[in-house]
């Protein structure tokens, strides 16, 4: 593991998308930055907005790609290469259709699950055994409705549920950064609502 732990949130850049479900990964990064008292700054060499934070005594690089979701992999690769971060020093947070609002799940490795942002990350980063924070946003019920759904703002009660889960996820970062992944998973999965069956697939 490098001296820095890299935490990436996926989302779409620009005020138009700031409050949409697809930006849940950015919401998580904003929460970590707020708790740490740091500010994001645009860094062209990373194609991203970046903040350096100390979380639980560990130096962390918080990254919000400045491109749209479908092209976020370039930023992830640039940061990973610069800081020589291995898979055990990388966490990527993103919205998950197949989990309901209020649920957040940590997962080590696996596929991209049809998420276009993760698909682009996979095309740029060849070691896919990094940690993921899957942030539940729910599913509209029909594949054809997914794009409009993820690019719209959740209802107030759903947004509160999502942000509550993000707070729980931020709370377990102390264990993540200490390498206690199993403990972090157990605590987060206990703290957030039980996973419900969500119809359909088709992330965008």
Chain segment 137-165, per-residue pLDDT in tens: 999 999 999 999 999 999 999 999 999 99
The active-site residue out of 4, 22, 115, 189 is 22
The question of whether 71 is a catalytic residue gets the answer no
pLDDT digits (tens, 9 = 90+) for 83-104: 999 999 999 999 999 999 999 9
Separation CA 141–CA 130 (nearest Å): 30
Q: Dihedrals φ, ψ of 192, to 5°?
A: -95, 165
pLDDT bin (cut points 50, 70, 90) of residue 198 is: very low
Mean pLDDT of the chain: 91
pTM here is: 0.91
Alpha-helical (H) ranges within 43-109 are 73-83
Cα 62 to Cα 43, 151, 194: the distances in Å are 12, 23, 28
Radius of gyration of the chain measured on its C-alpha atoms: 15
Domains and CATH numbers, the chain: 5-191 (3.40.50.1470)
User: For the ranges 55-59, 98-102, 134-138, 170-174, which has the lowest average pLDDT?
Assistant: 55-59
């Amino acid at each position: 593991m490098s001296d820095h732990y890299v935490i990436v949130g996926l989302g779409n850049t620009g005020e138009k998308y700031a409050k949409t479900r697809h930006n849940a990964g950015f919401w998580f990064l904003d929460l970590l930055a707020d708790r740490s008292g740091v500010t994001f700054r645009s860094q062209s060499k990373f194609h991203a907005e970046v903040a350096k934070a100390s979380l639980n005594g560990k130096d962390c690089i918080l990254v919000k790609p400045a491109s749209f979701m479908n092209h976020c992999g370039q930023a992830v690769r640039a940061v990973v290469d610069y800081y020589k971060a291995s898979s055990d020093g990388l966490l990527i947070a993103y919205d998950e259709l197949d989990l309901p609002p209020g649920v957040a799940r940590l997962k080590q490795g696996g596929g991209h699950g049809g998420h276009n942002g993760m698909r682009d990350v996979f095309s740029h980063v060849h070691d896919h055994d990094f940690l993921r924070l899957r942030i539940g946003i729910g599913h509209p019920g029909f594949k054809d409705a997914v794009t409009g759904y993820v690019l719209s703002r959740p209802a107030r009660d759903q947004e509160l549920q999502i942000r509550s889960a993000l707070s729980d996820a931020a709370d377990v970062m102390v264990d993540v950064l200490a390498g206690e992944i199993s403990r972090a998973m157990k605590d987060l999965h206990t703290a957030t609502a039980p996973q419900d069956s969500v119809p359909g697939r088709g992330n965008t």
